[in-house]
Amino acid sequence: MLMFDFHCHCILSDGELLPSELVRRVEILGYQAIAITDHADASNLDHIIPRLVKVAGDINRHGGTRLLPGVELTHVHPELISRLAAEARDLGARVVVCHGETVVEPVCPGTNRSALEADIDILAHPGFISEEEARLAARRGIFLEISGRKGHSLTNGYVARLARAHNAPLVINSDGHAPGDFMTAEHARRVGRGAGLSAEEVEALYRRAADWLKQKVQA
Ligand SMILES: [Zn+2]
Ligand SMILES: [Zn+2]
């Protein structure tokens, strides 16, 4: 069964696990790939990304679950997102996530919009994203996230409805910080169904993610 997660955290920010343990734990859950995307701003981008690139080099030589080094730009001013996303790419981030306007944190208004105009891959937990922003995500091929995380998941149904209406790509991520947060393939599909997606829409979402991953790995 296809299974990925492109948004989670290790000890390089506020997660509990070393990258190696995190990857091992999802390997036994049958994941084909995982992106570790630690919280970053200008203070720590150059701390996190080179370390994830280094450990990914080691881990990926031995097969199993593929580790993609990434980052989650978190609570940075909307005007800084584009520059920091470019810096993250230069440092070797394969997956750039932006911490969107979740309803459970005071994320700066305008974050969703600026993130969708920047070189990012995934807008995490976008909260009450606008119709125009959903269209922008579709046009730019940026994934809108259905979150497995408590709190952020409150608007999953809303996000799924707008994504369907405007043909924006969706991805289901755990936003895991601790061992118990990583979802089985079955649970991730329940999260998708719980957001109002059909079983077929959920499988289509994973097939699209698989194609995207293939391009990432070959790039
Ligand atoms: Zn976040
Ligand atoms: Zn996160």
Could you report the per-residue pLDDT of 12-41, keeping only the tens digit for each? 999 999 999 999 999 999 999 999 999 999
**Ligand nearest to the backbone CA of 176:** 2
- Residue 21 alpha carbon to ligand 1 centre in Å: 21
Query: Residue 144 forms beta bridges with which residues?
Result: 123, 170
Which residues have beta carbons under 5 A from ligand 1 (an ion)?
A: 99, 124
- CA–CA gap between residue 77 and residue 14 (Å, rounded): 20
Average pLDDT value for residue range 54-68 = 96
- The pLDDT value given to residue 186: 98
- Residue 112 alpha carbon to ligand 1 centre in Å: 12
Which residues have beta carbons under 5 A from ligand 2 (an ion)?
A: 72, 175
Read off the pTM.
0.98
